[in-house]
A and B are shown apart, each in its own frame.
Chain A
């Protein structure tokens, strides 16, 4: 069964500190992996996307890594800000779905709270 598991479920850090969120997946066939940020009451917004051949991708203070052999990804946030408080969702795209679209397998998300 295709699954995406994220840890921790929730995290509290102080402003200015770094943190790392984890994602393990068992999705096959694999197309790509995305990290989304979802603010409370809003829709998810894409932060990074990585294909099978990519090991790391940065977007400002966000850096994602991908190990396709172990099927693990991480999202590292540097010098956290209060506006980083949100849910971070790991999403793996499965190729070969019928209907002309790539099926997305969502993790349950990590809820991050950045405190002053």
Chain B
């Protein structure tokens, strides 16, 4: 285990549903990330939070809404998704760039299927 947990592990939802993905890190890190992994494509960075403040939104559609209530928890709220949003959603955490080591540790992911 990497110290980063994600729930649920699998999620099937319709295009009109609203759901949330949860991520929790037990590593004392101060940066958290959401990535999208589609089949045979590189991981795509979606959002970055440093000390609960969003520092990057990588042109993600507004149907994805992140929330970071504290440095240990990260949520991704989903609404009116499209079938092309089906993918593995990975959460990661790290120390900030100036702190060593700043390796990103990944959670197991949530496999999302949008019908």
Number of A positions contacting B (CB below 8 A) = 25
Identify which of A9, A100, A103 gathers the most chain B CB atoms within 10 Å of its CB: A100
Contact B96 A100 (CB under 8 A): yes
Beta-carbon contact of A99 and B48 below 8 Å:
yes
Chain A residues with CB below 8 A from B94, complex form? 101
Within 8 A of A (CB), among B75-115: 88, 90, 92, 94, 96-98, 102-109, 111
Residue of A nearest to B54 (CB): A99
Does B97 contact A100, Cβ atoms closer than 8 Å? Answer: yes
- Least CB distance, A5 to chain B, in whole angstroms: 10
Residues of chain B contacted by A41 (CB below 8 angstroms): 88, 108-109, 111
**A113 to B: closest C-beta gap in Å:** 15
Contacts of A23-49 to chain B: CB distance below 8 A = 34, 41-46, 49
- Chain B residue with Cβ nearest A4: B42
Given A45-B2, A107-B42 in contact, is the A101-B102 Cβ separation under 8 Å? yes
Chain B residue contacts of A46, Cβ below 8 A:
103, 105
Which residues from chain A contact B72 at a C-beta distance below 8 Å? none
In the complex, A97→B55 CA distance in Å?
11
Q: List which A87-116 residues lie within 8 A (CB) of chain B.
A: 89, 95, 97-109
Chain B: minimal CB distance from A8 (Å)? 13
Q: Nearest Cβ in chain B — how far from A93, in angstroms? A: 8
B41 partner residues in chain A, CB cutoff 8 A: 108
CA–CA, A108 to B40, complex, Å?
6
